[in-house]
Structures are given as C-alpha cells and as structure tokens.
Structure 1
Amino acid sequence: MFVQHSRLDRLMLALNAALLGLAVLIVVVPLIYVVIASFMDPSVLLSSGLSFHISDWSVDGYEMILTNPAMLRGFANAVMYSVSFAFLTVAVSICAGYALSEDRLKGKGVVMTLFLITMFFGGGLVPTYLLVKNLGMLNTVWAIILPSAVNVWNIILSRTFFKGVPSELKEAANVDGASEMMTFFRIVLPLSKPIIFVLALYAFVGQWNSYFDAMIYLDNPALHPLQLVLRSILIQNQVDPSMIGDQLAMAEMKRLSEIIKYAAIVVSSLPLIIMYPFFQKYFEKGVMLGSLK
C-alpha cells in the first residue's frame, strides 16, 4: 500500500535516516578498526596504521592472549560470575515480581514503596564496603554475586509481566486443587520464558561488563574477572610478561602491547556478540515491558 507523505514528513524521514546512519557509523567504524587492528602486525600498525594487505597481518595478539594464564583464568571467572549472578537475579526478580503482582498480597504497596526508595537513594560506597566486610565476603565470589542480586527495575519488569498473565489460568488451577507453589511452577513459570530470558540477558551483560566491584572487593588475582584483567591492559598499560615470554626485551613487550589491547577487546566482546542474535526477540519484549510500565 502506497502512503503519500507530505513535504514535512519526507523531511523528517530523511533527517531520521541521516541520524540513524550517523549512529551506525559511530558504532561500526570503531568496531571495524579494533577488529582489523587486532590482526595487524604491531610494527606496521605503529608505523603506518591500518593495512589491508594480508602480509601485514598477524595473529600474535590472539596467540598471546589465548596462551596467557591470567586471561584464561579471568575469562573463566567472568563466565562463572555472570552465569551465577544472572541465575540468582532472575530467581529473586521472578519470585518477588510474582508475589507483588497479586492483589491478595497485604502490604504490597508498602513493600513497593520501600523498593522504589532504593532506586533513588543508596547507602554509598563506604557503607556498602563495610557491610560486605562485616559479612565476611571480602575476597570471595559472594562479594561479586550477592550485593547486586536484588534489582528493583527487574522486579518491576517481572511484576508488570505477571500482571498480564490471565487470572483465569490461576483460578482454574486453584479449582483443581493446585497449591500456590504448584500454580507458580506448573502454570505461570512455563509462560514466563520471555521475561526470564530478558532478565537473564540484562543481568549477564551487566555483570560481564562490570569490573568496579571486583576492583574494590577482590585482592586475590586468581579471582579477578576478565574485565579487570582487561582494564589493567587498556587503562594502566600493564602487560603481564608471561604473555610474551622471558626471552623478549621490554621494548618488544611495549611494541606488542598494542595488538594485545585490541585482541583482548575482541575476545572479551565475543560472548555478547554471539548471544545477542539468539536473545534479540526477547530483548525487544523486555523493552516493550518497560514502556508499558
């Protein structure tokens, strides 16, 4: 069906297309630069910049990263932290959201008010650190997983989703003699795959990109996630000599540190790039839930 647009409509569509194209360029151009630079020979990259000649390319950066114990250990820690955090966050958010979606829950208005207050007012870094320390969680994996497991925004998304579940399904289950727990696990939870995937994606991505909590609470390098190892390479410009070998001089290490930075960025981004195509439809569902709220 052909739609006749006015001159103002055509102008707005052209402006939107230009802005979207600019946004795509802002995202894509640095990404392409990083990917190509990660395959470059460090001497060519430092002297001439990017080159599209195959003879100027090298996989030394990836070889050093994939054979470096600190990077591999950080990658494994990041996966463990992100998966555990996502599982715990989804479990808490789903249970709290389901309970708060029920009109039968007495005092749910007070509970929601208390939850909402925490979205605008926090205890601050020092009180939070002292709390984690007094609970004996410093330098443990629990310091990364537990403090942020309760996310009020995720609870609101869950509550909004469960309010859209037909009440007739739960009433029919109650008539058949199902308990509240049975209704939740056998009736409501199987219908909740969209919100479960959305919350899991939010939690996984947030934890995967996080390094500040690990920097504050973890002193043991064996517990550092990948992003903290990557931070030491990108921000502090520190490269573990074990990446290169004891036989290489400091000048060689400095030269190779450039491609190690780019290769580390690519390796750390791969899990998220691989995940998004599979979770895209659920991600869009989560955006719609937030807009409805």
Structure 2
Amino acid sequence: MSIKPAKSDRIFDFFNKLLVWFFIVIISYPLIYIISASISDPAYVNSGQMWLFPKGITFEGFERVFQSNEIWLGYRNTIFYTLLGTFINLAITLPMAYALSRSDLIGKKAIMALLVFTMFFDGGLIPTYLLIRDLGMINTVWAMVIPSAAAMWNIIVTMTFFKVSIPKGLEEAAEIDGASQIRTFFQIVIPLSAPIIAVMALFYGVGHWNQYFGALIYLQDRELFPLQLFLREILVQQQITAELMQQSGTAAAISEHAKIADIIKYAVMIVSAAPLLIVYPFLQRFFIKGVMIGSLKE
C-alpha cells in the first residue's frame, strides 16, 4: 500500500516542478530562436514576426557559410585540436589529481600551494607570448594545446572525486597483492572513474573547441587555423562590406546585404555550436554525477 504524500509535500513538489519548467523555458527559448532565425527569411526575423518557429524557410545563410572550403579545413583543424588537446589535458590532470589525493605524498602542501597560486596570478599575455616564441611553438599545433595543458580547478575537482569515490580499501588491497601505484592507478582507479573522466573531457573539450584567441595570437598559417577563426573572418568581412555599402551603395542594396548579414550571423552560431550540442546529451549523466561529486569537500 502506497503512502499518500502530505499536503505540504505536494505543494512543494508542484512549485518545484513549476520552477524547473520556468528555467527550462528560459534556457530553451534562445536556442530555439537562434535555430529558427538561421533558417528563416531575415525580413520576418527583423520585423519581429518570427519569435519562435521559423517563417519563410531558407538555407541561404548555411549555403553562404559552407561555400568557403576553409570552413571544412577549420572543422578538421578544430576537431584535431580538440581531440589532441583533451587527451593531453586528461593525461596530465588525472595522474596529478590522483597523486595529490594521496595522503602519503611528500611535499603535498607545498605543491598544492604552488598550484593554487596559479589560479590567482599568471604571467600575463606578453610574457606568455615570449615564452611560447622561445619554445619554438609559434605557428605550430603545439601552441594550441600545450599552454592550456592543465587547469588547476579541474585538478581540484578530479582530486576530490578520487578522495570521495575511490574506496581506500581497494588501493590497500592492491598494495598488499604487490601492485605498484602505477598499476593501481591504471587497473583500479581509472576504470572506476568514468564519470569524472567524462566531465573533464567535456570541460576541456569545450574549451578547445571554442578557442580562438590563442590561434589569433600564435598562428599565421591559414592551414592551421581553427574553425572559430574562419567564422570570425566571415562575420568581420560581412561587417566591413556593410560599412562600405553604406558609404557608396543604394538603399536597396544596403537593405539586402543587411538581411544576408543577419542570416549568416545566426548560421555561424549554429555551425560553431552544433557539434557540442550533439555530444553533450551522451555525457549528461556523467556530467551531473561528476559535478555533484566535485562539489563535495574532504
């Protein structure tokens, strides 16, 4: 026999669900609007007639974006940077976090103090550029992945996960059986750490995918440009063309170009964000679990 919830519990559940739906609407509306605007006639978008679902469906914005072969080059480079950079991030973050999670690590407090210091202070843009230049990484793939090889906040979250979620008894049992710390890490700790690995891969992957400032500073060869730089060029070119047309073009031509510029703007947003929107649902359950565990304290 099921127990009927108390009236206060039912009221709480009602308002809780109402609040959740409120936030879902707030979060979903901008996404739906951008998707609809990217395939709608700009006249409907600019006049406010299109406020949720597409009107006067057209794919001209996407056609203009993908007319450039450099878009596919940018996609290839960005995927490569994201995969390589995320692999390097995990290869550094996971072992470091595991080592710092062990109470018997010699000099642990000094190491933590040094690492935490980097969360508040850095060398600045010019010293960082000079360092990358002196290391010979200017205009190379490594300039896109090495400077962001690890993030202290992610190391702390991963370290907390190891402390909270990996039973100490498993490590002690492995040590009694003669397993080395490296073997324990790879054969026991890593297989039990799928949630935090997925979360860290998502954190780092999103950072690499959206990165453009580093490429803007360190890269000169267009063959190495990521997607974000090519998309930025498209938007800048549209803006410059619009300014030139305002000076010398007719009113009709200016209006037509403004419509095209708007639809390209929305198409660029979709092109840059679509891969992440596709990947995220597959990592969502790990993401939620990993974030909750990372919020706990020792």
* 8 Å CA contact retained: 1:233, 1:239: no
Question: Which of these residues, 4, 8, 17, is aligned with residue 5 of structure 1?
Answer: 8
Q: Distance in 2 between matches of 1:159 and 1:30?
A: 35
Distance 2:107 2:178 in 1: 26
2:266 alignment counterpart: 262
- How do 1:235-274 residues align onto structure 2 when only pairs under 5 Å count? 237=238, 255-274=259-278
Residue 269 of structure 2 corresponds to residue 286 of structure 1: no
> Are the equivalent residues in 1 in contact too, given 2:174–2:184 (CA < 8 A)?
yes
The alpha-carbon deviation at position 197 of structure 1 amounts to 0.8
Aligned counterpart, 1:34: 34
Output the CA distance in 1 between the equivalents of 2:53 and 2:6. 48
For 1:121 and 1:144, locate their aligned partners in 2 and report how far apart those are by CA, in whole Å. Answer: 21
Report deviation, 1:209.
1.7
The match for 2:56 is 56
Distance in 2, matches of 1:126 and 1:98, equals 33
Which letter maps to 2:105? L
Residues 77 and 223 in structure 1, CA contact (< 8 A), matched pair in contact too: yes
Residue 63 of structure 1 and its aligned partner are, at CA, apart by 2.6
Alpha-carbon distance between aligned partners in 1 of 2:205 and 2:235, rounded to the nearest angstrom: 22
Identity %: 45
Residue 178 (structure 2) pairs with residue 181 (structure 1): no
CA deviation after TM superposition for structure 1 residue 192, in Å:
1.2
Q: Which residue of structure 2 lines up, in the alignment, with residue 172 of structure 1?
A: 173
Q: Which residue is 2:124 aligned to?
A: 124
Deviation at 1:239, TM superposition (A): 8.8
Cα drift, residue 13 of structure 1: 7.3
Tell me whether 97-106 or 260-269 shows the greater mean CA deviation.
Answer: 260-269
TM-superposed deviation, 1:259: 2.0
Q: CA deviation at 1:230?
A: 2.0
Q: Which residue identity lines up with residue 289 of structure 2 in the other structure?
A: K
Q: Match for 2:281: what amino acid?
A: P
Write out aligned runs for 1:60-209 (5 A): 60-164=60-164, 165-209=166-210
Listed as ranges, the gaps of 5+ residues in structure 2 are 242-252
Change (3 A) 1:150 1:55: closer
Pairwise CA distance, 1:203: 0.4
Q: Amino acid of the residue matched to residue 3 of structure 1? A: A
Secondary structure at the aligned position of 1:58 is classed as: coil
In structure 1, give the amino acid aligned to 2:91: A
> What corresponds to 1:211 in structure 2?
212
Query: What is the TM-score of this pair, normalised by structure 1?
Result: 0.84
Letter of the structure 2 residue corresponding to residue 88 of structure 1 = I
SS at match of 1:292: coil
What whole-Å deviation, never above 9, does each CA across 1:239-282 have from its counterpart, x for those lacking one? 99xxxxxxxxx877665333222122112111111111111111
CA distance in 1, matches of 2:187, 2:13: 49
SS of residue in 2 equivalent to 1:103: coil
Aligned to 1:222: 223
Q: CA RMSD in A?
A: 2.9
